Chain A
Amino acid sequence: MAVETHAGESPIGRVGSAIGLIVGLAITAASMSSGFIWASQGQVLLVYVAGFTSWSGYLIAHYAEEGVFVDDMSEERTDSPTMNGADVSEADGDGILGQLRAILPDGPAAFGFLAGIAILVSGIAILAWYVRLENHLLGNVGSGMFLGGYVFAHYFDSGKFL
């Protein structure tokens, strides 16, 4: 398995990565907006198509940013510290509560994490409003906030956008 990293990456590569991230998340946002509107209208086939493309967009974004479609979490548990500096593997001896404490962000990162969650939750409410109006275009405001909030919170949780 080949894994790309941003270490030693060229500026052009970094721009390409950012474009892939944005395009992928835009596909997901549009799929969510239209998919929920179609669901409210009972359009079965279109909803399944939107369900598929919403995840395809995420895969594109994740691949562009991380060089893999999904993270290898067995490696993550042992190698990658969390944003708050705690290594989850070091909490193994503390039981379940110790592991939970280790993976939750704390300190300044906790504020960023919670801010991202707040944006995400607001996005869901705004998405509901525009789905109710059956506005495919402006539904992207809500789904975009949902995804943007997720990226924000994820960054403060792990130091990575996705």
Chain B
Amino acid sequence: MMICRRDSCMLPDAEELFWALAGNLIIGIGAGTATLSAFSPSLPLVPGSNPAVRVGVVSIGFAIFFAGYHFTQVGTYLDPDESFTSAFLPAPDADSDATDSGGVDGVLLARGGFVVLGVVGLGAGMRLFALTIQSWSAKLGVAAGVVCIGGYIFGHIGINGVTL
């Protein structure tokens, strides 16, 4: 990997820009879907008021958001010898004992569980945020913030292995 200084490496190369913009499009779709689903009872996907269904659809928006982020990350740092699909999909760590024995990789499972907790937490937090706006309560606003950032942290640990 080449290291360069700011004065000689100011602009991103075209390929890097492509992966960023393509991921940005996916993220925009996810963020827009999550936000609209949280706020409006009929737009764009949710016909009812069942809280679990509402949170579920908002969470789908965040799952698309995470997928867009992962898309950019995988595309930007793709090993020329590896296909995009295999790099994009989760796989056990090559050093894992489970890989050698053909069993289930516990760390991979846990990280997948964290991603699920992340999108559900963000979905619930965004719904609480919308409810706070529709019927103001400071406590509800703080709860929305705590649930949102909790979901974000779980999701971020699941995807990247670090907190924020």
Q: Footprint of B on A, CB under 8 Å?
A: 1-10, 13, 16-17, 35-36, 39-40, 42, 44, 47-56, 59, 63, 67-77, 82, 88, 92, 95-96, 99-100, 103-105, 113, 117, 120-126, 128-129, 131-132, 150, 153-154, 157-158
Which residues from chain B contact A53 at a C-beta distance below 8 Å? 28
We find that the number of chain B residues with CB closer than 8 angstroms to chain A is 60
Q: Closest CB-CB distance, A10 to chain B, in whole Å?
A: 6
The answer on a CB contact under 8 Å between B132 and A51 is: no
Closest residue of chain B to A31 (Cβ to Cβ) is B31
Alpha-carbon distance between A121 and B144 when the two chains are bound, in angstroms: 8
Alpha-carbon distance between A42 and B133 when the two chains are bound, in angstroms: 14
- What's the count of A-B pairs with C-beta under 8 Å? 189
Chain B, range 81-105, C-beta contacts under 8 Å to A: 95
Which residues from chain A contact B136 at a C-beta distance below 8 Å? 128-129, 132
Picked from A13, A44, A128, the residue with its CB within 8 Å of the CB of B6 is: A13
The answer on a CB contact under 8 Å between A2 and B2 is: yes
The answer on a CB contact under 8 Å between A128 and B133 is: yes
Q: Closest CB-CB distance, A67 to chain B, in whole Å?
A: 7
Alpha-carbon distance between A10 and B7 when the two chains are bound, in angstroms: 8
The answer on a CB contact under 8 Å between A128 and B44 is: no
Which residues from chain A contact B29 at a C-beta distance below 8 Å? 48, 51
Q: By CB atoms of chain A within 10 A, which of B132, B136, B161 has the most?
A: B161
The answer on a CB contact under 8 Å between A121 and B146 is: yes
B53 at the interface (CB under 8 A from A): no
Alpha-carbon distance between A43 and B70 when the two chains are bound, in angstroms: 28
Closest residue of chain B to A126 (Cβ to Cβ) is B141
Picked from A44, A51, A105, A126, the residue with its CB within 8 Å of the CB of B31 is: A51
Alpha-carbon distance between A13 and B138 when the two chains are bound, in angstroms: 42
Q: List 10 A-B contacts (CB under 8 A).
A: A1-B76, A36-B39, A39-B38, A39-B40, A51-B30, A55-B31, A69-B76, A73-B161, A104-B163, A128-B133
Picked from A59, A128, A154, the residue with its CB within 8 Å of the CB of B132 is: A128
Which residues from chain B contact A103 at a C-beta distance below 8 Å? 157, 161-163
Picked from B32, B39, B134, the residue with its CB within 8 Å of the CB of A48 is: B32
Which residues from chain A contact B4 at a C-beta distance below 8 Å? 2-4
Which residues from chain A contact B129 at a C-beta distance below 8 Å? 36, 124, 128
The answer on a CB contact under 8 Å between A125 and B160 is: no
Alpha-carbon distance between A72 and B163 when the two chains are bound, in angstroms: 15
The answer on a CB contact under 8 Å between B28 and A55 is: yes
B115 at the interface (CB under 8 A from A): no
Which residues from chain B contact A72 at a C-beta distance below 8 Å? 73, 76-77
Which residues from chain A contact B59 at a C-beta distance below 8 Å? none
